[in-house]
């Protein structure tokens, strides 16, 4: 391999910091500062590599910022034998972080729509949930973002989104009520206009559960 090719290969494989975005080194330094502020010693053996691990984990936790929801839903299958009834994917697990305290909240999302021009791959709906979950969030905002993205991309007759989640900011700190669930919903189109469709959605979501 020539020196030119080697140099190019090295540049392509090395992450490039975006303008205005702190570098990896700055992020790790911030973690060390927080460790000291918490009362520990970031130089002790067990914490020496923690800043690197935290920076790497943050890239995974907040990978949704690099996702474009419109691209996730850009492929629609029009040949579905005229299917125009409800499509529901329920119990989609997700993990997110509260934008107020940066602690986790997690649970399941239930997503449904009535197709018009075609259907989208079922796995894409799970990816859409993750795209918004893997950001600093509020559950209410995340619920509406998922619904809006589906309306914009699919132009369905209606969308229904329900999220059930436990928030660690309620379980670990503050009021400390472990196990408390928060439920949010967003309805558009036929789901918003017809209460019977909301009942149908909720019945299908709860169907088969004890």
Annotated catalytic residue within 67, 164, 166, 169: 169
Residue 109 and residue 184: Cα distance in Å, rounded?
Answer: 10
Annotated catalytic residue within 110, 137, 167, 197: 167
Which single residue is written with the structure tokens 């299917």?
Answer: 83
Annotated catalytic residue within 98, 137, 145, 197: 98
- Specify whether 110 is catalytic: no
- Specify whether 169 is catalytic: yes
- Specify whether 167 is catalytic: yes
- Specify whether 79 is catalytic: no
DSSP string, 122-151: HHHHHHHHHHHHSSEE-HHHHHHHHHHHHH
- Specify whether 97 is catalytic: no
Annotated catalytic residue within 137, 139, 145, 186: 139
- Specify whether 99 is catalytic: yes
For 175-197, give one letter per residue: b (16+ CB within 10 A) or e: eeeeeeeeebbbbbbbbeeeeeb
Annotated catalytic residue within 25, 26, 100, 140: 100
- Specify whether 101 is catalytic: yes
**In contact, 184 and 201? CB cutoff 8 Å:** no
Annotated catalytic residue within 25, 99, 140, 193: 99
Torsion sign across C-alpha atoms 55, 58, 64, 65: negative
Q: Which residues carry out catalysis?
A: 98-101, 139, 167, 169
């Amino acid at each position: 391999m020539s020196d030119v090719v080697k140099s190019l290969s090295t540049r392509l494989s090395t992450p490039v910091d975006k303008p205005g975005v702190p570098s990896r080194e700055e992020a790790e330094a911030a973690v060390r500062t927080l460790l000291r502020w918490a009362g520990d010693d970031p130089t002790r053996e067990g914490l020496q590599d923690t800043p690197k691990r935290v920076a790497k984990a943050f890239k995974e936790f907040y990978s949704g910022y690099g996702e474009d929801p419109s691209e996730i839903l850009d492929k629609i299958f029009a040949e579905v034998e005229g299917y125009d009834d409800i499509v529901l994917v329920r119990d989609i697990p997700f993990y997110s972080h509260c934008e107020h305290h940066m602690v986790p909240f997690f649970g399941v999302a239930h997503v449904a729509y009535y197709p018009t021009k075609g259907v989208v791959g079922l796995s894409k709906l799970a990816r859409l949930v993750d795209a918004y979950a893997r950001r600093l969030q509020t559950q209410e905002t995340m619920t509406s973002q998922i619904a809006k993205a589906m309306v914009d991309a699919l132009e369905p007759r209606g969308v229904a989104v329900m999220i059930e989640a436990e928030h660690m900011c309620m379980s670990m700190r503050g009021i400390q009520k472990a196990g408390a669930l928060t439920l949010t919903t967003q309805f558009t189109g036929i789901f918003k206009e017809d209460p019977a469709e909301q009942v149908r959605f909720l019945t299908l979501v709860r169907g088969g559960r004890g």
